[in-house]
Structure 1
């Protein structure tokens, strides 16, 4: 967690320096397009400030009022960042439309291009670094901040190309057109972050995590695990909460059931990158399960096994035993 805080602090300090540089470029050029880039930098600083706090809060241990921990704050952090980006893009479009009717004189374009080019390079390098670290640390906050910085770098590249075209052609409307295009691009990226955060806050299932868990279970399944169903995943920051039902032979005693449940818990925690809390409900098998059950020398088998079932995400997330979707040959 200290690593995450240090990385966000680095992003925050860098964002402040780059914001000042972009506003300097705006003041010496009076370019509406450069002002657009500078305005987005304010969002970078505000988002990094909140991200710094969210990483601190997500590391606070569970308490009586927050039995699942404080990890959800990371989704709220992404929501704030996406909302700020969306608002910035909207303001940029409004100002660009204003400049269509009230254009401003441009000066010192080459000097402004030089300053903006440096900020774009720094933003891209820092964003790529944060994305790499976010995968290693499984941090949504670092991921959102890294994607935002890389998006900012791409928009800066488009801005630079447009400013160069403006410099060589002298067509001033290019400056306003750039602001409009960048504003729409920024709003779209803000929407994507908002969509991701709302999905997390609403406990939308993470398809990739579910697929990873199903693959682990499929590759390591034991004969006694007759089927797995009602598999659900919730994410709380850097922790996962999973629950499912596992069908076991109905003649297993409590010690055997506990052993199988513990084995599944251990298997998942050893093979996923996030700390995982696994709640498993054990179901007894029924005669209808026999046609896909692989238990050898079963003392209560009512019919031979006639079918093999490959576990898939679509099958395991359903809240029914597998005999309701398969029929014996």
Structure 2
């Protein structure tokens, strides 16, 4: 299934689940169910953002965007996480109000059934999207999958709280579980924000990734003298890598070009969407640089 079809599926499923949770939330009077409906509505909005961000990020480079549109995914991921924070704050405020004005929950069985249904649907779809996101290294799709995955646990937790309220009559459990749910989804949002936002500031790839790329370069050390000024960054699903490569003055342009092509191709096997730029330097212009 294509990425566009996956995001469309996510939008449709989220829309159905949001409508069901909102209806049941107001029927039961449960702030936890209503808060979960708000959470799912954020998932719906996130799915819509993901759909458009992937389409934008997939556009080829043009005159106005010579480096492509990859950062659209990072922008989308950042917006989605901020939306989760807003939802979490709203849930906590409503839960505090529920503590001061408690009332009996109506039709708890209906609420439990809808929560379990939503959890089952989102579990299946989140796994499918996560596999596709890992394969494409898409930040926006990873963000969408995380939204759906957290929805699974929050739905199950609220189903459990409704059952406990029904069995014990402890109405305070409803806002308590809602607050715990809010804190959990805000924590998950914070982790995702640390992944989606740094590329907007052109943060380098992590140490393990850079070491793997340098290992690929050094596998050809018999064909060059040294490399320096190594730089890397990520934009959406694409990685940008550039460095200076010092070669022997006796090497022909054709030979040097073939060496660069070989290195670029092998880095491309490690990162399928990597954009590699190699600046060649002849030996007589070599200066004293550190390789790393």
What TM-score does the superposition give when structure 2 sets the normalisation length?
0.92
**Alignment-derived partner of residue 179 in structure 1:** 178
**RMSD of aligned alpha carbons:** 2.3
Deviation, structure 1 residue 284: 4.2
Q: Would you say 1:254 and 2:253 are equivalent positions? A: yes
Q: Which moved more, 1:204-213 or 1:48-57?
A: 204-213
Alignment check: 8 A CA contact 2:74 2:200 kept: yes
Alignment check: 8 A CA contact 1:124 1:150 kept: yes
**Alignment-derived partner of residue 209 in structure 1:** 209
Alignment check: 8 A CA contact 2:216 2:263 kept: no
Q: Would you say 1:77 and 2:76 are equivalent positions? A: yes
Q: Would you say 1:274 and 2:272 are equivalent positions? A: yes
Report matched runs for 1:84-163 at 5 Å.
84-163=83-162
Q: Distance in 1 between matches of 2:228 and 2:156?
A: 49
Unaligned runs of 5+ in 1: 290-318
Larger Rg: 1
Q: Distance in 2 between matches of 1:44 and 1:222?
A: 49
Check 1:32–1:247 CA distance in 2 against 1; reply closer, same or farther (3 A cut).
same
**Alignment-derived partner of residue 262 in structure 2:** 263
Deviation, structure 1 residue 126: 0.8
Q: Which moved more, 1:187-196 or 1:62-71?
A: 187-196
SS of match in other structure, 1:229 = strand
SS of match in other structure, 1:106 = coil
**Alignment-derived partner of residue 237 in structure 2:** 238
Check 1:113–1:64 CA distance in 2 against 1; reply closer, same or farther (3 A cut).
same
Q: Distance in 2 between matches of 1:108 and 1:201?
A: 47
What TM-score does the superposition give when structure 1 sets the normalisation length?
0.82
**Alignment-derived partner of residue 290 in structure 2:** 321
Q: Distance in 1 between matches of 2:249 and 2:102?
A: 79
Give the aligned length.
Answer: 291
Unaligned runs of 5+ in 2: none
Alignment check: 8 A CA contact 2:239 2:271 kept: no
Task: Give deviations 1:87-117, integer Å, cap 9, x for gaps.
Answer: 0001111111111112233111122101111
Q: Which moved more, 1:208-217 or 1:89-98?
A: 208-217
Alignment check: 8 A CA contact 1:226 1:248 kept: yes
